[in-house]
């Protein structure tokens, strides 16, 4: 039996145990999600076409992995305006496995995979007071605050002084210049001295592509002289 489903603005022909990537679907790995937008369902030559959807039909899918697609570069240029904009985008995708095709309002027979139980320590049960004392230092600095402090740290150390006007580099506007300064990049000399590893770090942490950053680096070498 096969079905044609609609999700994320796209249509897919699926059958049981098929593995495919679709636009992001909310759910943890192992969770069973039901897709109710079934355009057609059938087996062999017998096919039922919906208007627009087949009544009572649905497809149960198991969430395998949450991830992102390859980077897509969007480039915009205005003639004789000295204006260029280059941005990267990675679409959020969900890898799913087709569990079963359901008809007449049936519910999925397969349940979500059980989450691994938290390891229980016999010593903690025997000595709860000792466990509380060991856990006390962890409460002093929550994990969320550690992650926040880590993410707030700039990528580079800004040199002393006011810095250069980065908007003189073609492709860097006021917004991009502000984002670069927040990460410690304030001068032409810094941009010109970026290594390939630095370019990769910026590409990963900021909304700029590696090719775009390398272009800025070459322009900064001329401006830094």
Q: Note the pTM of the prediction, 2 decimals.
A: 0.47
pLDDT in tens, 143-185: 555 455 445 678 888 888 778 888 888 888 888 888 888 888 8
Please name which of 163, 161, 197 lies closest in space to residue 177, comparing C-alpha atoms: 163
Asked whether residue 59 carries a pLDDT value surpassing 50, the answer given is yes
**What's the pLDDT score for residue 124?**
47
Confidence of residue 89 (pLDDT cuts 50, 70, 90): very high
Cα dist. 210→174, 176, 221 in Å? 20, 15, 17
Separation between Cα atoms, residue 155 and residue 152, nearest integer Å: 9
Asked whether residue 41 carries a pLDDT value surpassing 90, the answer given is yes
Q: What are the residue boundaries of the structural domains of the chain, listed by start?
A: 2-102, 166-223
Residues 6+ apart with CB under 8 A from 13: 2, 3, 4
Is 213 within 8 Å of 203 (Cβ atoms)? yes
**What's the pLDDT score for residue 22?**
94
Please name which of 169, 167, 166, 218 lies closest in space to residue 192, comparing C-alpha atoms: 218
Point out the least confidently predicted range of 28-37, 95-104, 142-151, 172-181.
142-151
What is the domain class of 166-223 according to CATH?
mainly alpha
Provide φ and ψ at 148, rounded to 5°. -65, -45
Confidence of residue 109 (pLDDT cuts 50, 70, 90): confident
Q: What is the dihedral of CA 162, 190, 208, 95, to 10 degrees?
A: -120
Confidence of residue 125 (pLDDT cuts 50, 70, 90): low
């Amino acid at each position: 039996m096969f079905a044609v489903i609609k999700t994320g603005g796209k249509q897919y022909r699926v059958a049981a145990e098929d593995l495919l990537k679709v636009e992001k679907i909310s759910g943890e790995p192992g969770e069973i999600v039901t897709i109710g937008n079934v355009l057609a369902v059938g087996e062999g030559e017998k096919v039922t076409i919906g208007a627009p959807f087949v009544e009572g039909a649905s497809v149960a899918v198991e969430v395998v992995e949450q991830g992102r697609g390859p980077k897509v570069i969007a480039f915009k240029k205005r003639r004789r305006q000295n204006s260029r904009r280059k941005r990267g985008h990675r679409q959020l995708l969900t890898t799913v496995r087709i569990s079963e095709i359901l008809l007449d309002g049936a519910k999925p027979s397969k349940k979500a995979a059980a989450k691994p139980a938290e390891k229980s320590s016999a010593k903690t049960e025997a000595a709860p007071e000792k466990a509380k004392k060991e856990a006390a230092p962890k409460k002093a600095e929550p994990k969320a605050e550690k992650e926040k402090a880590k993410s707030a740290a700039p990528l580079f150390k800004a040199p002393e002084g006011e810095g250069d006007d980065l908007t003189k580099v073609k492709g860097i506007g006021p917004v991009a210049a502000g984002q670069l300064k927040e990460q410690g990049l304030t001068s032409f000399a810094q941009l010109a001295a970026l290594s390939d590893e630095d370019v990769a770090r910026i590409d990963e942490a900021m909304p700029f592509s590696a090719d775009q950053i390398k272009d800025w680096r070459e322009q900064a070498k001329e401006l830094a002289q």
